[in-house]
Structure 1
Amino acid sequence: MLNKYIDIIFKKKYPRWTIMLFDFAATASILLSYNIYQLDNFITINWPFVFLIPFVNFLFLIILGVYNTSIRYYSLENLFSLIFSFVFSFFIVYQLSNFSVLLERFTTTDLLIVYYLCISIIISFRFFIKIIFKNFGTYKTENVLVYGSEDLNIIINFLNQTKYYKISGIINDANSNYLNSGINSYTLDDNLTTIIKQNNVKKILIPDSLNVQKIEFIYNLKNSSKFDIVKFPEQSKFLDRLTEFSLDPLEIEDLLSRDKISLNKKNIKKEYYDKRILITGGAGSIGSEIIRQLVKFKPSEILILDNSETPMFDLKSELSSFEEEINFHFIVDSILDKDSLSYLFKKFKPEVVFHAAAFKHVSMMEENPKSAIINNILGTKNLLEVSLNSAISKFVFISSDKAVNPSSVMGATKRICELYISKFFKDIPNIIVTRFGNVLGSNGSVVKIFKDQISSGGPLTVTHPDVNRYFMTIPEASQLVLEAGAMGEVGEIFVFDMGVPVKISDLAKKMIKLSGKVLDEDIKIEYIGLREGEKLYEELLTDNEKLKTSYNPLILIAEKDYVDKNTYTAIDELIKSAKKGSNNQILIDKMREIVEEYKPLNSKYS
């Protein structure tokens, strides 16, 4: 029965000010009681003395971060901070007592007694709370292994302070010299599968900075053992506020991403600092992440153009904390309205343009080639022509690997945009193209589809057992876009190193395993056949393109395209045909005349 009431009282999360209020009230009560005891009456109480010490104590408790950590996770380090705050407070009040008539009746002994009583009751209160959490209430304890990191002592201290986890051991790199008496230490060379089973390990905690190869190694242990993998954040993110809710589950992005990208931040800041920057498609997956990365380099203004009001509203709320440093303009409009674009450029005078707005879903665009042509090609043409009459210093076009030897309408429109851009090389300074593959977690991406299918019990639908794709996380892609924009020269096509292509069927199997399900028992994979316009594999270069390296090994540069004037005329004619509403086959034929390598696959079009 007692445990039940303890759970009700102490599992509820109380705001930090309740602890602050207790400390202030407890200190003031001690001082008031001491005054009455010393003076034998209530009338002559030294009220400045009663309220000065609690105030000074309170000030130093805040400065030294005593309230930043939940009491249930208090450690020796937190205790020292609390004691130091009282020591500093004592010296301040002691100095004031030497100069203030109001405090002159109180001796050094009085102050020492008062401070001893204050610190005793405040520390006792914290230990009482910890004992309650330690010995009462109902908790489910899980055995865990912890992968070593430079923050290992902090993690171990946190785990030892909670009843939710019991440390079964530490996994260290072979060259680690970490020693901790009483805790078993293992390396990756040990038989971790047996250790996990013998200790009934339910979770393995890994630092979120762990490299992909080691994450993959830990993940592969799940083939013969059932446990969860969770990440703990870097020290700078959690030192003062670590709780059990700071632990995030391993996501598929962690297995497919690569080691942390190294950016030339000096070059990037030089390119974008104090600039007026326009991002089209700014509320989309790539556009919004470009903005998140850009704010670190403090442009003066960011113009966000998108025709979707709800994502724009959400993005505006997210960026509100940066509004004191950067002027944001949220513009709900379309790149198809050339007059609106002209007004926007005239009013805000953007210096850098990132063009990310596009229709990108392959199967949807197969059904709507007219819309794909108008939005992707005409929209890009409008933006280029308006930029031509403005003072922009850089234009960055976001392309796709589907533009290479395209097999779909969407890919063909992207390739046509790449060709049309060359028309403006002489007139727009530093106009460049960035080309990369699929981004993990973007709207409509296979990862999101698989997550939804897993949550509904499956099956996971894969088009073909051998279909594979290049993948990159949204932050990776956006960071490389900024880097390419900072280094680019006129007419260059930047091709991002996408790593090793991933089989979609393997991706599905990994996601099933990560969810704790068993393939074919809990969730099945169903092969449904290639969709219209879908290839078995994607490419990053056309047959005629050759690559050269840049100073960033993840960014390669393709040779410039040679495009004759007849191609530009054909593109203009294609746009006119789409605006007239020509039938789909005519539009496809016109695109094939422009892009000879465009060959529709699994398509109704010939």
Structure 2
Amino acid sequence: MKVPRLLANKNLYLMLLGESGLFAMALVMAFLLRFEFDIPADFFRQMVGLLPVAVALKVVFFWVCGLYRGMWRYTGLADLWKIGRAVFMAEVALIIYVAFTSHFQGYPRSVFILDPLLAFVFACGARVLIRSLYETSAQPKDWLFALLPERFCAPASGIRALIVGADADGARIAKEILDVRDSGLHLVGFVDDDPARIGRNIHGLPVYGPLAALVSVAQMTRAEEILVSAGQAGGHLREIVDACESAQLGIKKLPALADIASGKVSVKALRDVRYEDLLGREEVHLDEAGIKGYLADKVVLVTGAGGSIGSELCRQIIRFGPRLLVLFDAGEENLYSIEMELLHQHGFTRYVTVLGQVQDAALVDAVFAARQPHVVFHAAAYKHVPMLEGNPWQAVTNNIVGSRTVMEASVRHGAGRFVLVSTDKAVRPTNVMGASKRVAELLMHGFQGGETTFMAVRFGNVLGSSGSVIPLFRSQIERGGPVTVTHPEVTRYFMTIPEAAQLIVQAGALGRGGEIFVLKMGQPVRIADLARDLIILSGKDPAEIEVKFTGLRPGEKLYEELITAGEGVLETGHEKIMVLRSEKTQIENDEKLVTLLEAARFFEAEGVRRGLQDLVPEYTPVSNAAEVH
């Protein structure tokens, strides 16, 4: 016969034995206090006869209230309330027993008041003592040296850290850190701008402030690092980073309190503040009902599924329960990576992988015939500007021919929706990549009008995507510099990968046919400022790492645009998505397209550029885009 796990715990019997002794002591003390420590013989016999009943009743009600299931080292306020209820019920039961057996004849009434009070105090005291001993066991000298001035104490282990924000979240996070023995942190206080909090103490830690005085606070407390909670990492993060630079402090971001409380992460899971945090983006709110309406129980095909955008699209799509997800990619390693992630990290098994190129018409047609996708997200594209300037035929082959091949298959096999992932570089393009994506947009308009609803989504640079400048800057900073920036005034729009993918999926629900959606990218960021911020966030001094300006590369602009002349934008039903108000122009002259494809087939770089100009009149190829404004 299997013994229940609770009964197999040896500590349970120690708890029962110890607490039984406390309950017996409570009743004895009640009689001693009642008779001023001189119990008459008759009442002594009465006490001895009552002891087993009083102890047994209290143990039974403590068991019923679940007070022997927990661990005393983790006693909290909820346990004290349980003890109060258990003692009260046990004493009521004892009074009923005495009334039933002897009608209270000869029993001192005050004993039945003193007994529960003492039992409550003893039970609570034992648990609090055990918890206190466990909390101080990691550093047993703490309780002794707490009363001494800090200069007489041995230096505490761990990085000396200040928490930004003495609000409720900051206080709870501080408590979590203090409760973890090996957190690697030694908290020295809080920093807050609220005058009502400055000068007070929370969990024994002083609250300093304001944030503008961080330099002097850091010197006084000898702090080495600033901890920023998830709640503080919003609009104030830029101010915090600037203050940390002045005070020459490192900065770390704490996990969200909800994640700590749910057990998803440990309070020790600190991470460096990333540049994405400085963007101050609000959480994307999705119309989940609308998205579910076109993705749930549908066959969804994602081209470029292993890329940075494609893989995040897959992560977002599986949330809405597709019947089948078709992963199409030309890169074996990328395709394997997203397959293993879906299978092992997300537990998603309703997928198939297709290794191949989107310009392979026979393969694409075979996939569509076999899987009959309802929704297509076309994210496969070459997008590295300088690389395509040197190999322009590949932009035509992949970005134009590949897009047309997938569009044709979508129409031929009756796909319900087709979402083209486009770019802000398609606006007044100065490079081959942007021009090729603009041609794909124009081709999309030519396919509109049948059963398939076509739309495009246009956005700017994505932080952390392949080809992003962020990984390059980080590696340069790790090597000690210099950090190479093309031009002091060059600016770019930035968006995080999850944000971009979520809005692409959302735009797919909004499309009615032929739209080009534009994602609200916020304010453009100077790349020189981005480099400086990354140096600070890496814990380096900007004065020690050189930022070197190398000149704009072929095909680059000083700044990017999301709309072109005459387009204008209209609001949609989503706060972060706009739609272009323009005539849905399309490629009218197939001969120009044939000429372009012929130039690409024979690797004629200048022929490709001329062909792109014929199809996209606003395309102005330049070798140095510094003159483009």
Distance change in 2, residues 1:221/1:120 (3 Å): closer
Following superposition, the deviation at residue 602 of structure 1 comes to 1.9
Counterpart residue identity of residue 589, structure 1: R
User: In 2 relative to 1, CA 168–396 (structure 1 residues): closer, same or farther, beyond 3 Å?
Assistant: same
CA distances 1:215-267 after superposition (whole Å, capped 9, x unpaired): 11111112421112222222331115353432222111111242222222222
Are 1:367 and 2:390 counterparts?
yes
Match of 1:357 among 361, 380, 393: 380
Conserved? CA contact 1:61–1:82, under 8 Å: no
| 2:25 equivalent in structure 1 | none
Matches within 5 A, 1:530-545: 530-545=552-567
Displacement of 1:130 after TM fit?
4.1
Assess, with a 3 A threshold, how the Cα gap between structure 1 residues 372 and 175 changes in structure 2: closer, same or farther. farther
Deviation at 1:82, TM superposition (A): 14
Q: How much does 1:318 deviate?
A: 1.7
Compute the RMSD of aligned alpha carbons: 3.9
| Alignment-derived partner of residue 113 in structure 2 | none
Whether 1:287 and 2:310 are equivalent positions in the alignment is yes
1:508 is displaced (CA, Å) by: 0.6
Give 1:462 deviation, angstroms: 0.6
Q: 1:160 to 1:146 in 2, by over 3 A?
A: farther
Q: Does 1:205 align with 2:227?
A: yes
Equivalent in the alignment of 2:242: 220
Query: Aligned letter for 1:166?
Result: L
- Where do residues 55-454 of structure 1 align in structure 2 (5 Å cutoff)? 76-77=75-76, 80=79, 130-135=135-140, 139-148=157-166, 150-162=168-180, 164-171=185-192, 182-185=204-207, 191-210=213-232, 212-241=234-263, 243-321=266-344, 327-454=350-477
Q: Does 1:546 align with 2:568?
A: yes
Deviates more, 1:547-556 or 1:442-451: 547-556
The code of the aligned residue for 2:510 comes to M
Work out whether residues 151 and 234 of structure 1, in 8 Å CA contact, stay in contact via their aligned partners in 2: no
Aligned pair in 2 of structure 1 residues 332, 21: CA closer, same or farther (>3 Å)?
Answer: farther
2:74 touches 2:131 (CA, 8 Å); kept in 1? no
Q: Which residue of 1 aligns with 2:30?
A: none
Of the structure 1 ranges 487-496 and 128-137, higher mean CA displacement relative to structure 2 is found in 128-137
* 1:80 shift after superposition: 4.1
Give the CA deviation at 1:566: 3.1
Report which stretch shifted further, 238-247 or 586-595: 238-247
Structure 2: gaps spanning 5 or more residues:
19-62, 91-123, 142-154
Please say if residues 188 and 221 of structure 2, whose CA atoms lie closer than 8 Å, have aligned partners that are also in contact: no
Provide the identity percentage: 32
Distance in 2 (CA, whole Å) between partners of 1:538 and 1:121 is 68
Deviation for aligned residue 1:372: 1.2
Structure 1: stretches of 5+ with no match in the other structure: 1-19, 35-56, 92-118
Tell me how far apart the structure 1 counterparts of residues 80 and 16 of structure 2 sit (CA, whole Å).
Answer: 26
Instruction: Provide the C-alpha distance between the structure 1 equivalents of 2:195 and 2:324, rounded to a whole number of angstroms.
Output: 49
SS of the aligned residue for 2:408 comes to helix
Contact 2:304 2:380 in 1 (8 A): yes
Q: Is the 8 A contact 1:302 1:326 kept in 2?
A: no
Cα distance, 1:165 vs structure 2? 2.1
> Could you list the per-position Cα deviations for residues 82-104 of structure 1 after superposition, in whole angstroms to 9, with x for gaps in the alignment?
999xx9xxx9xxxxxxxxxxxxx
Cα shift at 1:168 = 1.2
* 1:602 match: 623
Distance 1:229 1:82, change over 3 A: farther
Give distance in 1, aligned partners of 2:199 and 2:290.
39
- Residues of 1 paired with 2:580 and 2:215: CA distance? 46
Which residue identity lines up with residue 397 of structure 2 in the other structure? I
Superposed displacement of residue 561, structure 1:
3.9
- State TM-score, norm by structure 1: 0.78
Any idea what SS the aligned residue of 1:494 has? strand
State the 1:142 CA deviation. 0.8
In 1, the alpha carbon distance for the partners of 2:276 and 2:15 equals: 57
Question: Secondary structure of the equivalent of 2:311?
Answer: helix
Q: Distance in 1 between matches of 2:571 and 2:386?
A: 34
Cα deviation digits, residues 40-99 of structure 1 (max 9, x gap): xxxxxxxxxxxxxxxxx9xx99998x7xxxx9xx75449949999xx9xxx9xxxxxxxx
TM-score scaled by structure 2? 0.75
| CA displacement at 1:331 relative to structure 2 | 2.0
3-state DSSP of counterpart to 1:336 = coil
- Is residue 524 of structure 1 aligned with residue 529 of structure 2? no
Shift of 1:386: 0.6
